[in-house]
Amino acid sequence: MSRNEILKSIRAQRVPTAELPSLDRTWLRFADPLAQFESQLAGVGGRAVRVRSTDEIAPILNARPEFANANGIVSHVAGVAANCDLATIADPHELESVDWAIMPAEFGVAENGAAWVTDERIRHRAIYFIVQHLALVLPADQIVHNMHEAYARLSVGSSSLGVFISGPSKTADIEQSLVIGAHGPRSLTVFLVEPA
């Protein structure tokens, strides 16, 4: 009955009407959104790597010691080998020992270096947060200028989780010193696959 009381109490208040503004206008745009995305990502502690095809990703990762020596690897990107399959894991707690995940992202946002990912067709959403290192792969021509364009293109609520990820997990809670790697991934690499 709290519900009805709260609603009743809200309806009893006389609040002046106000229009909902239209957001359909021209917002910030960039001459080179891809370059802007890369520099924003670098600014938040991430790393952007341009590749011509997804085949180039595995060699680049293999050259990194923290990848070559990784325990568990999850990959949802063709061409990058994995040794752990999310679909066969019943309990997400088991992902604790996974070091790397290479996952597709739908698109990026130039103004803040964020990439949009969802848990659609992904059995355990924890994968984005529990691994030590995260790599996202997205087509280089899928960079929108700003957040308004981002919401115009994505369908909010189509999956139970959708996240803008911008850089690795970080904190500045101890005397405002920036530390990378709070609870989630210690690094974020975004592979931008250039159109063929």
161-180 positions binding another protein, by CB under 8 A:
161-177, 179
Angle at 170 between CA 165 and CA 173, to 5 degrees: 135
Please list every residue from 26 through 45 that binds another protein, using CB under 8 A. Answer: 27-28, 40, 43-44
Write down the least CB distance from residue 56 to another protein, Å.
26
Does position 86 bind another protein by CB under 8 A?
no
If the CB atoms of residues 9 and 88 are measured against another protein, the closer one turns out to be 9
CA atoms of 140 and 158, how far apart (whole Å): 24
Give the residue from 83, 162, 181, 149 showing the smallest Cα distance to 119: 162
Tell me the site size for another protein, rule CB under 8 A: 75
The number of beta carbons lying within 10 Å of the beta carbon of residue 44 is 16
If the CB atoms of residues 58 and 147 are measured against another protein, the closer one turns out to be 147
Does position 13 bind another protein by CB under 8 A?
yes
**Dihedral angle sign, alpha carbons of residues 139, 30, 170, 181:** positive
CA atoms of 137 and 52, how far apart (whole Å): 12
- What are the C-alpha distances in Å from 14 to residues 5, 8, 18, 130? 16, 12, 12, 48
Query: Given the rule CB under 8 A, which of 47-55, 56-64, 80-88, 144-152 is the region that contacts another protein?
Result: 144-152
Does position 128 bind another protein by CB under 8 A?
yes
Does position 101 bind another protein by CB under 8 A?
no
Does position 88 bind another protein by CB under 8 A?
no
Please list every residue from 42 through 71 that binds another protein, using CB under 8 A. Answer: 43-44
Does position 10 bind another protein by CB under 8 A?
yes
* Burial classification of residue 19, based on how many CB atoms lie within 10 Å of its CB (0-12 exposed, 13-18 middle, 19 or more buried): exposed
Query: Given the rule CB under 8 A, which of 53-61, 63-71, 78-86, 146-154 is the region that contacts another protein?
Result: 146-154
Does position 189 bind another protein by CB under 8 A?
no
